[in-house]
Amino acid sequence: MSSALSSPSTFAFDDLTRDRSGHVRRRSWFDGAMRWLLPLLYLVAILPILDLVYWVARGAFPSLSLATLTANPTPGVGSGGGLYAPLMGSIAILALATAVALALGFLGGLTTAEYLDERSAGIVRVTANVMAGTPSIVLGLFGYIAFVTFFGWGPSLAAAGVTLGIFMTPYVFRATDLAYTSVPPHIREAAVGAGARPVQYLLRVASPIALPQVLSGVFLAMAIGVGETAPIYLTTTAVVLPPLGLLAPASALPLYIWSGFETGLVLPSAIALAYEAAFLLLVIVIGLNVLVRLVAARARRRLEGLFQ
Amino acid sequence: MSASQFHNFGWAFFGFDYGSWGIMTFVVGSFLTSVPALAISMLVGLGIAIASTTYLPRILAAWLDPFVDLLAGIPSIVYGLWGLLVIAPYFGTTIFPWSATHLSWIPGFAPAQFAPTPGIGTSLALAIIVLTLMILPITTLLMRDALKAVPRDLWESGLALGATPWEVTRRVALPYAKRGVWGAAFLGFGRAIGETVAVFMVIDQIERLPVNIYGGTSTMASLIIGTFDNALLTNSYGHTYLHYLAELAIVLLGITLLVNVAGRWFIRRTYTEVAGL
């Protein structure tokens, strides 16, 4: 912010010999030290991650091949083979979870933004914000008690998907709420002035403006959800086959790494496969995050265009 | 006893004795990992936030900041795997022997009988470090948001009065952004205390308080995932254990709810649409 207005030079003071105590020089020196030291802290955040990506890639690449994506893991989890089952499981669980999160989060967000009065909307928003901070392990235990045992679904794709969907709901909710409330008021006034009914306003005026932002929120929720381990570990079981149905157990990439960890990660092939799963996860998560950014930037440009 | 009934463990539930269903060991374990991790990541995060808003050329910050934000999205299982396979051996063979000799005057840094220094490296210290890295992007992002919201007028007035950029940051911008910094602390703590998988993978879990930083312990979250198999037993011990974990989860949920409500009270909304904040 201030780099254009650079720190005061001590030159003028030397010239007029007014800085006899060295006070100004000291202050300026301290500022200069901070200017160089603080940016170095970026390294604390970035270097470990570069190291992480390096080691994951290094562990994954020697054995990464097309067979990794098409072969099932060999029985005896963590011992070798490919990642077809965990990948398919991850996709199935994520699809179900996204559907659940859309059903709850999108409709909830829409209702909050468009139909609730300020007071109730405030209460719902605070609840959603706080819900977004619920530890995933707590939600996982809830999923186990509610879906696996009480509803009797057993460890299954359905239990994992619904639990993960509940976990993702607040993110979708907030994106939807924010998207619809940030439609500029003059657009609504113009629509109502032109005689649009509320439904027409919602479907043909507000939604085209808001949906890109909702989409970026959905991608974000997916990026967060796909890497979650705790809720899935408690609600489904790692298996070596792709999910056979809603009530059949489904494996998942994070779950696969986890079961590899639980069985010790001793065999080189198990370690390699865990790294491959981690690498795939990283690719999926980073890809989704890039999508979030692209879609959000586009949505923002679109919204800004409306004010001109 | 059916699963829908509340199992009353009595007051021993809030005690330290795991054998008589006490949870306090794990509450303390959670705080022992989260508080140091939060302290480090607040300091580093504040430094990065100040560097980004005050010192870095704008174009450099515009490239680096999204990168830091992206780190918040890395799955915790990947952090755990990396911590276990890459960092733990390095710490166990290099860092810990060094710190045990040279830093043993710090409480908790001296080797002890049941937690000698060398080893596989998984320990309380490693859990703190992995946790620090995991919440660093979140605290950084929230504090950067707060500092960015400081009006330009205040900045320019401060500079015009002859204050250095550091002094404006320290005496004008930070007091203005105080709420955001507090919010970052609370929300970061909420994340740290609920973190499960990565912590469990590197903490070398045992169900007792840590002897020193080289030894294992367990947090509330890591106890749930680490001993969940007990709850799957179909005998009466398994049933009781499920109740125990569920009630422990309620305590954990209560703590995170309080922390998150406090955090949200400080920060009404965030301006960055990443990291799920």
Q: Check which CATH number belongs to the domain holding A221 and give it.
A: 1.10.3720.10
Percent of chain B with pLDDT over 90: 58
Model confidence at B122: pLDDT above 50: yes
Same domain, A295 and A209: yes
Q: Among the three residues A7, A34, A63, which one is the final residue of a domain in this structure?
A: A63
Total count of domains within chain B: 1
- A209-234: pLDDT as tens digits: 899 999 999 999 999 999 999 999 99
Whether A191 is in a domain gets the answer yes
DSSP secondary structure string, B121-189? --SHHHHHHHHHHHHHHHHHHHHHHHHHTS-HHHHHHHHHTT--HHHHIIIIIHHHTHHHHHHHHHHHH
Model confidence at B103: pLDDT above 50: yes
Same domain, A87 and A26: no
Contacts of B264 in chain A (CB under 8 A): 126, 129-130
Query: Using CB atoms and an 8 Å cut-off, which of residues 66-95 of chain A contact chain B?
Result: none
Q: Across the interface, do B194 and A226 touch by the CB < 8 Å criterion?
A: no
Q: Exposed, middle or buried: residue A121 (CB in 10 Å: 0-12, 13-18, 19+)?
A: middle
Same domain, A46 and A100: no
Closest C-alpha to A87, from A270, A280, A221? A280
pLDDT-derived band at A93, boundaries 50, 70, 90:
very high
Helices (H), A10-83: 11-16, 23-60, 66-70
Same domain, A55 and A77: no
Model confidence at B174: pLDDT above 70: yes
Q: Is the dihedral of CA B229, B231, B236, B240 positive or negative?
A: positive
pTM for the whole structure = 0.89
DSSP code at position B19: G
Whether A180 is in a domain gets the answer yes
Contacts of A45 in chain B (CB under 8 A): 44, 48, 68, 71, 133, 136-137, 140
B218: containing domain: 18-266
B108: left (phi over 0), alpha (psi -120 to 50) or beta: left
pLDDT-derived band at A2, boundaries 50, 70, 90:
very low
Same domain, A93 and A47: no
Query: Using CB atoms and an 8 Å cut-off, which of residues 18-47 of chain B contact chain A?
Result: 44, 47
What's phi and psi for B213, nearest 5 deg?
-70, -15
| Residue the block writes with tokens 């054998």 | B19
Model confidence at B25: pLDDT above 90: yes
| Residue the block writes with tokens 């650079």 | A6
What is residue B114's predicted lDDT score, i.e. its pLDDT? 64
Same domain, A207 and A272: yes
What is residue B269's predicted lDDT score, i.e. its pLDDT? 62
- B180-217: pLDDT as tens digits: 999 999 999 999 999 999 999 999 888 888 888 888 89
Total count of domains within chain A: 2
Report the alpha-carbon distance of residue A202 to residue A180 in Å, rounded: 9
Whether A196 is in a domain gets the answer yes
Percent of chain A with pLDDT over 90: 51
Q: Where are the beta strands (DSSP E) in chain A?
A: none
Percent of chain A with pLDDT over 70: 91
Model confidence at A91: pLDDT above 70: yes
| Contact of B51 with A41, CB cutoff 8 Å | yes
What is residue A17's predicted lDDT score, i.e. its pLDDT? 55
Which candidate from B165, B193, B257 shows the least CB-CB separation from A130? B257
Whether A278 is in a domain gets the answer yes
Whether A2 is in a domain gets the answer no
Q: Among the three residues A5, A28, A63, which one is the final residue of a domain in this structure?
A: A63
Same domain, A102 and A246: yes
Whether A6 is in a domain gets the answer no
What is residue B116's predicted lDDT score, i.e. its pLDDT? 63
Three-class SS state of A73: strand
Q: Among the three residues A43, A63, A83, which one is the final residue of a domain in this structure?
A: A63
Which candidate from A2, A274, A292 shows the least CB-CB separation from B165? A2
* Mean pLDDT in residue range B145-172: 92
- B220-272: pLDDT as tens digits: 999 999 999 888 888 888 888 999 999 999 999 999 999 998 988 888 765 55
ipTM of the complex: 0.89
Whether A1 is in a domain gets the answer no
- A40-73: pLDDT as tens digits: 999 999 999 999 999 999 999 888 888 788 888 7
Same domain, A144 and A268: yes
Residue B64: give its domain's CATH number: 1.10.3720.10
A258: left (phi over 0), alpha (psi -120 to 50) or beta: alpha
Contacts of A220 in chain B (CB under 8 A): 273-274, 276
Report the alpha-carbon distance of residue A130 to residue A139 in Å, rounded: 13
| Contact of B131 with B192, CB cutoff 8 Å | yes
What's phi and psi for A73, nearest 5 deg?
-65, 150
pLDDT-derived band at A184, boundaries 50, 70, 90:
confident
A58: containing domain: 16-63
Whether B273 is in a domain gets the answer no
Nearest CA in chain A to B50: A38
Same domain, A234 and A277: yes
Q: Which amino acid, A101?
A: A
pLDDT-derived band at B5, boundaries 50, 70, 90:
low
